[in-house]
Homo-oligomer: A and B are copies of this chain.
């Protein structure tokens, strides 16, 4: 089952980030079946009912599928990527954070700030929490997951080194493309992550070759914190990105989850 969050096409586009939920043309949740969009009252987290209306995918403009209460992101979870970045392999699953201001929908432009000099993609699996969870075992963890989507953890590597935190290196406006939808039925073990730049393969890896898996992360986190419906956990990335240039189009495809496509443009 696929969940989208969308606005009617032709409405006010807004300017990304956390104000999506606050605008006059409020986005709605909907089920997607092929090309058919079935809007709902409510949402996939607290409960919903179909409005009975049927739209086509071309009638709507996709928004990020969820604005999370808390935005978790795993920093170093694939050995090749850790080696490429010259970092130490972690000995335990310490999760990090990203920020809602940076969220960007499928199809929208990543805007590279004028003084950004080394911008990279990071194709990632995103876990979407569906049910509140505290103190769950690894075996119980998957039951609190609603589904999966795709994230691009866009990073400016020079700021990542020079700054004490990732505030602008990873959380500048538009640096967190996510979508296009939440897929509730996915086989993470059989999943492959494929990243293309301008239509040409750039990175390919087995999605579940993680240092610490989804169940380990959710269970460990839940010993100290409550996971809430709508929280998201980005699972980290493998491989290496070229330095992206003005006009580059990056497509992140995960088996069964579709393709997240965004153009990278230089701020003027």
Contacts and interface: CB of A to CB of B under 8 A. Distances in A.
Contacts of A221: 167
A12 interface: no
Contact of A172 (B46, B67, B165, B225): B225
A93 to B, nearest CB: 9
A113 to B, nearest CB: 6
A224 B168 contact: yes
A17 interface: yes
A228 B17 contact: yes
| Most B Cβ at <10 Å: residue of A16, A132, A167, A173 | A167
Interface of A: 15-19, 22, 46, 67, 69-70, 75-76, 90, 92, 94-97, 99-102, 113, 132, 134, 163-165, 167-168, 171-173, 221, 223-229, 231
Contacts of A90: 164
A163 B91 CA distance: 10
Given A164-B94, A167-B224, A18 B69 contact: yes
B226 A101 contact: yes
Contacts of A22: 46, 228-229
A228 B165 contact: no
Nearest to A114: B223
A265 to B, nearest CB: 16
A69 B101 contact: yes
B18 A172 contact: no
- 3 closest cross-chain pairs (CB), A and B: A18-B69, A94-B164, A168-B224
A164 B19 contact: no
A111 B147 CA distance: 31
A214 B39 CA distance: 43
Contacts of A70: 18, 99-101
A66 B173 CA distance: 22
Contact of A225 (B76, B95, B168, B224): B168
A113 B221 CA distance: 13
Given A15-B226, A17-B228, A19-B228, A96 B165 contact: yes
Nearest to A96: B165
Given A96-B164, A167-B224, A171-B225, 12 more contacts: A15-B226, A19-B228, A22-B229, A67-B69, A70-B99, A75-B165, A96-B165, A97-B165, A101-B231, A113-B223, A171-B224, A173-B225
A132 B22 CA distance: 12
